[in-house]
Amino acid sequence: MIDKTAIIDSKAKLGKNVQVGPYCIIGPNVEIGESTIIHSHVSISGNTKIGKSNKIYPFVSINDPQDLKYNGEPTNLVIGDNNKIREYVTINPGTVGGGGKTVIGNNCLFMISSHIAHDCQVGNNVIIANNVPLGGHAIIEDNVVIGGNSAVQQFTRIGKMAMIGGMTGVLHDVIPYGLSIGNTNIIPSILSSKPP
């Protein structure tokens, strides 16, 4: 079902059973896979390919990178299958200086007001809680969980199965299977060690 108030460019490609809610805007170079549901007031532009069976909630914005060096170059965003992108999430495509592509895997949950910046690489089964921004060029591997109100600095890598505690500023890479917590991220074992 396509709501009559949605504005969909004639060049956009929508798969079977795609639903587009009221007041959405979908640009000419957007491709949306089958059975994806786009709720109301969603804006999707750029060279964006979205897979099948995603759920995109109201007021999501998938638009140009927030990078002052970006001058409208044709860069890309690829989103996989079965993701849940909740209200007010923002996602940006890549930039020429960062390889030109932002990639998101499958089965992820991006909670309210999280942000995926330009040139990020996000794996499968990733959970990013409310109000978490990923800076540009961040790499988030499979099965990572990032707690609410955290922030991930640009060019940071978080290894697979790692968990970031809520309200943590991630300034350093995090090892796979690691737990990172604190005002600025540290490894919990450091907290318990005694000084020499």
d(CA 56, CA 38): 5
- Pick the catalytic residue from 41, 115, 118, 137: 118
Torsion angle (degrees, nearest 10) of CA 102, 105, 111, 116: -10
What residue has token string 């299977």?
177
* Gap between the Cα atoms of 87 and 97, Å rounded: 29
136 is a catalytic site residue: yes
Residue carrying structure tokens 């910046």: 117
Task: Collect contacts of 122-131 with beta carbons under 8 A, ≥24 apart.
Answer: 123/160, 124/80, 129/166
Identified catalytic residue from 21, 105, 136, 148: 136
Please tell me which residue in 39, 41, 81, 119 is annotated as part of the active site. 119
Q: How far is CA 94 from CA 112, 116, 120, 136, in A?
A: 22, 10, 8, 9
**Which helix (H) or strand (E) element contains residue 164?**
strand 163-164
Q: Are 82 and 53 in contact (CB under 8 A)?
A: yes
CA distance 79 to 145: 18
Q: Is 115 a catalytic residue?
A: no
148 labelled catalytic: no
Q: Which residues are catalytic?
A: 118-119, 136
